Chain A
């Protein structure tokens, strides 16, 4: 607390400055949302509309992009195409319009599921390990505590991709290449330093008196941690989880290098869509749109915790 209170700190901001602030925020929001709007709208355009110049703002919406994203299609000879029975479903119909038939489902579903398993799995593991480590560093006398914390942080001092080759070789040797477990462990290793440092900051802010009271009230250290510390660290855990998920979800380089089939995530898969039958921008945009959804939903779900801020504690300072 600063002992000096100046007059300007207590005056209500003027109407003009409020308007100015609101305009700036709105402008910034529009600028950041524009690429997103572009992606979402392109996903609903037809192939020709998606590459027209100048870009079409008003267009006839089409689900072609989404259908193409989830299917593989083949072109039949003219008489074979004419001999087909009439299309049975709406997506059959859309594909027929461009003179093709559905050959089968695409791999997008699997790749998306891989992203979900690896992204959320590594986030959960990072948070679990990070919370326990952060609590230990925050509350106990750990030998060489500062050195250990620095060591944990130091893994962030180079771009993770700098160790791509050793990891590639190690993973080949260990049979972790192209496995869910391998990718979860890798993303956890990268995220854990962020998790430990962020969560330690949050846990340091929780007064020890709460746990001491719980210890006296008949709880063990671990029970006190679970019943008293965890609920109060919820805000910190939520924001840390969002950071971890965003990294694991968006990671591209390792995913390209270490996954090719079974455990391939969506980021390396989406660019390959473009190669199927020409430059299919609507399908790419549809893939990107669906890819955005989980992080968005996760963030919205945890928003309450993010906004709640630091608990107004019941400890007299």
Chain B
């Protein structure tokens, strides 16, 4: 349980600049989610905090003191790797007990047994405890790997896409379980994911990385409603935000566009149906809880939501117009 402060962190691997001058404060007890495509620097951030790599510049402080000179073990962190990294020569039980048997913790064996049983229960793998780690399915390996972090009570949990290879049901359950652990223990989490549902439901803060730079950091609602750029806006929202030239609906000033607006960003809630120019319904997707409308507005394609009981079908037309949309300049910055 501790605050983690990254200051001006930079890291290059060979010719690739993985992180550029990242400054970020992970408050004590926060659940920070890092978003960004592959290569944005998410995993690098975790590896630097863990002490597996040394930054080229900048500082990392955990609980108020710089940890740059400390070994990974001394930093007292737990990490879930994307490649589960279970010890293949050990059983599931010994994998889970491994951190507790380390010289850093050296817990008595009876307490270890209790702790391992408890975590196995949470992750629903008690029946697998005596299996070899290699004799598990992908999802079970990932759960053991999460379990190996959860047996401990470290200053921060680092998780690199821990739920990525689980099926939808288990993923939803574990999402809730992790969130419960977060609120029960008051533990600090730094969590990397591609999945926006994970980001929106679990995070207290979201950090968006773009090619090694932290472009926006804030609570999920703020990132969603108030993105600083088209890049950030595209990270969240299903269906994705539609980005069109500012004059796609006619003169931009008519919809309150500020000076210099080059692009208009439309999430489904920014589209008012029944007024304005007419768009052609191209396709409908019934997803059960929502129905997605694929619209052609002149040469532009817009995906938005429709009433689940809509009578619209391909070939129909629909009037739409923007309603307090997001405006971006030619460089994609929000204005």
Contacts and interface: CB of A to CB of B under 8 A. Distances in A.
Do these two chains interact?
yes
A313 B134 contact: yes
B136 to A, nearest CB: 8
B17 to A, nearest CB: 20
Interface stretch (B100-108, B228-236, B248-256): B100-108
A228 interface: yes
A218 B165 contact: no
Chief secondary structure at chain B's binding surface: loop
A88 interface: no
A218 B84 contact: no
Contacts of A231: 89
A215 B72 CA distance: 6
A220 B88 contact: no
Contacts of B81: 209, 212-213
Nearest to B104: A218
B83 A315 contact: yes
Contact of A217 (B89, B134, B141, B148): B148
Interface string B39-60: 0000000000011100000000
Contacts of A220: 71, 73, 103
A218 B134 CA distance: 23
Interface residues on B, range: 20 to 34
B84 to A, nearest CB: 6
Interface residues of A, number: 24
Given A207-B83, A316-B82, A216 B72 contact: yes
A215 B98 CA distance: 11
A189 B221 CA distance: 67
A187 to B, nearest CB: 31
Contacts of A315: 83-86
A210 interface: yes
A213 B85 contact: yes
Given A218-B105, A314-B134, A316-B165, A207 B73 contact: no
Contacts of B82: 316
20 contacts: A207-B83, A207-B85, A212-B81, A216-B52, A217-B78, A217-B98, A218-B99, A218-B103, A218-B104, A219-B103, A220-B73, A221-B71, A223-B103, A232-B89, A311-B89, A312-B134, A314-B134, A315-B84, A315-B86, A316-B84
